[in-house]
């Protein structure tokens, strides 16, 4: 995704540099450059945020798979004996046969490792 966005940015800058002077005014070019810079900055911060979120989720899932207990917003004791991890939705759901936890869905991003 980053490579594609970078190539699109390069393409837009190249088009602006090659365009005829008469086709766009100087103010239009400046506003386009500023827009590209702003969009690039927003994309950088979004990508940085998503990287940190994915790293946190990966650490939580690894701790769960290692048998550690997790403390989550919805439930205080998520462990391998009572829950399974569903990678498609990044959630923990109770194993079948545990009636007290039936219907509970715990999202990975709300969890941290129990100390």
Residue 35 — very low, low, confident or very high, per pLDDT cuts 50/70/90? confident
Residue 113 — very low, low, confident or very high, per pLDDT cuts 50/70/90? very high
Q: Is the pLDDT of residue 20 over 70?
A: no
Structure tokens at 44: 């950088």
Q: Is the pLDDT of residue 22 over 70?
A: no
Average pLDDT over residues 6-28: 75
Structure tokens at 79: 């462990």
Q: Compute the distance between CA of residue 30 and CA of residue 47 in angstroms, rounded to an integer.
A: 26
Q: Into how many domains does the chain fold?
A: 1
Provide the domain limits for residue 78: 2-113
Q: Is the pLDDT of residue 52 over 90?
A: yes
**Is 60 within 8 Å of 113 (Cβ atoms)?**
yes
Q: Compute the distance between CA of residue 8 and CA of residue 14 in angstroms, rounded to an integer.
A: 10
């Amino acid at each position: 995704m980053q490579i594609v966005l970078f190539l699109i940015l390069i393409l837009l800058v190249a088009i602006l540099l090659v365009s005829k002077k008469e086709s766009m005014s100087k103010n239009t070019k400046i506003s386009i450059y500023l827009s590209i810079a702003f969009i690039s900055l927003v994309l950088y911060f979004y990508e940085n945020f998503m990287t940190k979120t994915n790293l946190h989720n990966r650490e939580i899932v690894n701790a769960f798979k290692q048998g550690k207990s997790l403390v989550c917003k919805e439930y205080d004791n998520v462990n391998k004996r009572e829950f399974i991890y569903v990678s498609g939705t990044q959630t923990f759901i109770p194993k079948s046969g545990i009636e007290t936890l039936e219907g509970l869905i715990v999202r990975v991003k709300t969890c941290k490792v129990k100390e």
